[in-house]
Amino acid sequence: MTIIAPSILSMDFSDTRSQIADLERSAAKWMHFDVMDGHFVPNLTFGPDILKAMRRSCSLLMDVHVMIEDPLRYADVFLNAGADIYTFHYEAISLQMAIELAQKIRAAGKKAGISIKPKTSPDVLFSILKEFDLVLVMSVEPGFGGQQFDPGALEKIERLKEERQKQGLEFLIEVDGGINQKTGHQCVKAGADVLVAGSYIFKQDLIEGVASLL
């Protein structure tokens, strides 16, 4: 079954309590955090304190996606703050460091994820896929919410699904960026397991928005 991971990047932070309550009543299973440092991407968002607060008040799985220059340095910070999944970018570090970081995350009892930008081919990950529990395909250029879906992501999802089967692996395929009812269903058809949606969910009734993606 498809997993829906609402992105709190689009949450109204003047009314978090009622929105969290709605999300917990919805069919969403995960909560997605877009962590940006203003360097790796041109925007600045959440730190670990927001994650800690959400961890205390919400029972959903905490899916943390760091768009930062030094994901190794901050891994312990976010893992200790409550991340269940820690996803970092292939483009941020070397291949060997990516392997070492994935092993560190798993050794901490958490799930390791790796993400690729729209211009990065999924093929660059094939030699290290066994190290990861999740691969996140960005269907917009990371940095800001509300962008239009890049249809090139569909081919990447299909390629990853094929390679997963070829290698006999079980990592989840997640997609983030421009997800709505139409694009979300296209991604699931291509092989996506997890849909991240922000503005689409939070700009309507949350429960109905989540349900429409299933």
Catalytic residue among 22, 37, 150, 176: 176
Tell me how far apart the alpha carbons of residues 52 and 203 are, in angstroms, rounded to a whole number. 25
pLDDT at residue 147, rounded to an integer = 74
| Residue 97 in tokens | 């460091």
**HSE-up (13 A, CA, CB side) for residue 49:** 1
Strand partners, 44: 37
Catalytic residue among 22, 34, 37, 63: 34
Which tops the pLDDT comparison, 54 or 170?
Answer: 170
pLDDT digits (tens, 9 = 90+) for 4-18: 999 998 998 888 899
DSSP annotation string for 44-93: B---HHHHHHHHHH--SEEEEEEE-S-HHHHHHHHHHHT-SEEEEEGGGS
| Residue 50 in tokens | 């927001």
User: Does residue 176 have an active-site annotation?
Assistant: yes
In this predicted structure, the answer to whether residue 47 has a pLDDT above a threshold of 90 is: no
pLDDT at residue 144, rounded to an integer = 66
Question: Phi first, then psi: what are they for 61, rounded to 5°?
Answer: -65, 135
pLDDT at residue 39, rounded to an integer = 75
Residue whose C-alpha is closest to residue 180's, from 160, 163, 202: 202
Interval 203-212 mean pLDDT? 96
pLDDT digits (tens, 9 = 90+) for 99-151: 999 999 999 999 999 999 999 999 999 999 999 999 999 999 887 666 789 99
pLDDT digits (tens, 9 = 90+) for 148-161: 899 999 999 999 99
User: Does residue 22 have an active-site annotation?
Assistant: no
